[in-house]
Amino acid sequence: MARPNPPSSIRMNPASPLPASRLAEVRYDIRGPLSQRARELEQQGVDLLRLNIGNPARFGLHAPEALRDAMAAHLRDADAYGHELGLEAARAALVQDAAARGVAVADVEHVFIGNGVSELIDMALRALLEPGDEVLLPRPDYPLWSAATRLNGGSPRYYDCPAGRGHLPDPGEIESLVTPRTRALVLINPNNPTGAVYPRPLLEQLVELAARHGLLLLSDEIYEGIVYDGVESLPLGRVAGDVACLSFGGLSKVWRACGYRCGWLLLSGGTRALRPLRDALQLLAALRLCANQLGQWAIPAALERRRDIESMTAPGGRLHATRAALIEGVENSEFLELVAPAGAIYGFPAVRRDVLPRFDDQSFALDLLEHEHVLLTPGSGFNVTDSRHLRLTLLPPPAVMTEVLRRIERALARRAEAAIPRTARG
């Protein structure tokens, strides 16, 4: 019997399905084409220096033993689905820890635990945004924020944080970007990729701006506590007070436990006004059933050791020493300039325009990978236009950072030589 023809309303297309059009503007260069090319080179036996990702364990910096012990003691307790908001003991520890840092979280019902901060950022924006709503994002940004905004129907509006201002924003510029469709103001503090840390007066201005325009504050604080040379890292919730604020943190960086995929979201200020959003977040949390159960048992043990990171950021510590190697290497460079990172685990040097006027960070990063076997992330991967920046993680030992800068200098010297007209070379 012959098969009936399909209804005319159904389009038969033998080609492969096309991806959703909303992905066209989504990028994540940190694990993009350069990283794929790096894997190909390594498969060919090339030994690379990887400074593209802030992944502490890959550089020998592991989670404290107490976190592993806490999980091992609760292996049997992690078999079943858990509460959609997260393990209550972990949420209670987070409420107590927030209070110790001056952030008033009402109760455990205002704490969400997720599979890393990335999942919670996506959930928060999904709960908040209608199609066409705007989110104020720093430029440079951590690209997940732009991606999650677009994937949830929103539109990023960027406020600049240029090197000339120490990578800090201008509240007046931010306010000029506010429209009737603006829903939220995002801060990344301490900042990825620049290492900037926002001082209290600036945070106070941004809180006032948010209150004036009815904006929700979204504060990415995954690097809170990773600061250098006496700089203070303030949680935004402490400054925001009664202004509605969502603060994101997790085990990945301060506690070097990226693979645990364990992050948290704290809701503070404006508790009554936040209730509909809190309930929407609980619905989304329930749809994904629960977060990884085992990693959550590490949270109370981690919070008891919040200040342990200071042994790495103080003089003599690993991060402090590698940061010093970066600063010294840039000071001795003919081509680079740098705003010294005050926090986080990255440096964001730039190629000097007066020395090398024409520069493309993407093509340079590829050249550096192919010929000097160094993998890093170009600044354009952080939604910076006309970028001259390169992001390097501070996680490797100081000697590796020194070697990386030597190779960067050599590659830049080749570019400068190639840019000189032959007649001028004599």
What pLDDT is attached to residue 15?
63
Q: Residues 92-111: what's their mean pLDDT?
A: 96
Residue 422 has pLDDT above 60, yes or no: no
What pLDDT is attached to residue 30?
75
What pLDDT is attached to residue 185?
98
Confidence of residue 37 (pLDDT cuts 50, 70, 90): very high
Do both 206 and 299 map to the same domain? yes
What pLDDT is attached to residue 271?
78
Mean pLDDT, the chain, whole residue set: 93
Do both 106 and 216 map to the same domain? yes
Number of domains comprising the chain: 2
Do both 237 and 328 map to the same domain? no
Confidence of residue 178 (pLDDT cuts 50, 70, 90): very high
Q: What is the DSSP string of 1-31?
A: -PPPPPPTTSPP--SPPPPPGGGGG---GGG
* % residues pLDDT > 70 (the chain): 95
What pLDDT is attached to residue 10?
52
Last residue of a domain, one of 260, 288, 306: 306
Q: Would you say 396 and 59 are in contact if contact means Cβ atoms under 8 Å apart?
A: yes
What pLDDT is attached to residue 419?
76
- Residue 172: strand pairing partners: none
What pLDDT is attached to residue 13?
58
**Rounded to whole angstroms, how far apart are CA atoms 396 and 268?**
36
Residue 215 has pLDDT above 60, yes or no: yes
Q: Residues 311-332: what's their mean pLDDT?
A: 97
Do both 265 and 287 map to the same domain? yes
118-161 pLDDT per residue, tens: 999 999 999 999 999 999 999 999 999 999 999 999 999 999 99
The pTM is what?
Answer: 0.91
Q: Residues 325-349: what's their mean pLDDT?
A: 97
Do both 296 and 318 map to the same domain? no
Residue 380 has pLDDT above 60, yes or no: yes
What pLDDT is attached to residue 31?
79
Confidence of residue 213 (pLDDT cuts 50, 70, 90): very high
What pLDDT is attached to residue 344?
98
Residue 99 inside a domain? The answer is yes
233-292 pLDDT per residue, tens: 999 999 999 999 999 999 999 999 999 999 999 999 987 889 999 999 999 999 999 999
Q: What is the DSSP string of 72-103?
A: HTTGGGGSS---TT--HHHHHHHHHHHHHTT-
Top-confidence residue, 7 or 71: 71
Do both 371 and 358 map to the same domain? yes
DSSP state of 356: -
**Rounded to whole angstroms, how far apart are CA atoms 181 and 37?**
40
Do both 221 and 302 map to the same domain? yes
* Structure tokens, 144: 């997940």
Q: Residues 53-77: what's their mean pLDDT?
A: 94
Q: Residues 385-407: what's their mean pLDDT?
A: 96
Do both 208 and 322 map to the same domain? no
Last residue of a domain, one of 269, 289, 306: 306
What pLDDT is attached to residue 29?
73
CATH code assigned at 73: 3.40.640.10
Residue 361 is part of which domain span?
Answer: 21-60+311-419
Residue 263 inside a domain? The answer is yes
Lowest mean pLDDT among 135-139, 144-148, 408-412, 422-426: 422-426
Residue 287 inside a domain? The answer is yes
Q: Would you say 204 and 187 are in contact if contact means Cβ atoms under 8 Å apart?
A: no
What pLDDT is attached to residue 28?
79
CATH code assigned at 409: 3.90.1150.10
* % residues pLDDT > 90 (the chain): 86
What pLDDT is attached to residue 25?
80
What pLDDT is attached to residue 5?
59
> Which alpha helices (DSSP H) does 271-397 contain, by range?
271-287, 293-296, 298-303, 310-313, 318-331, 361-367
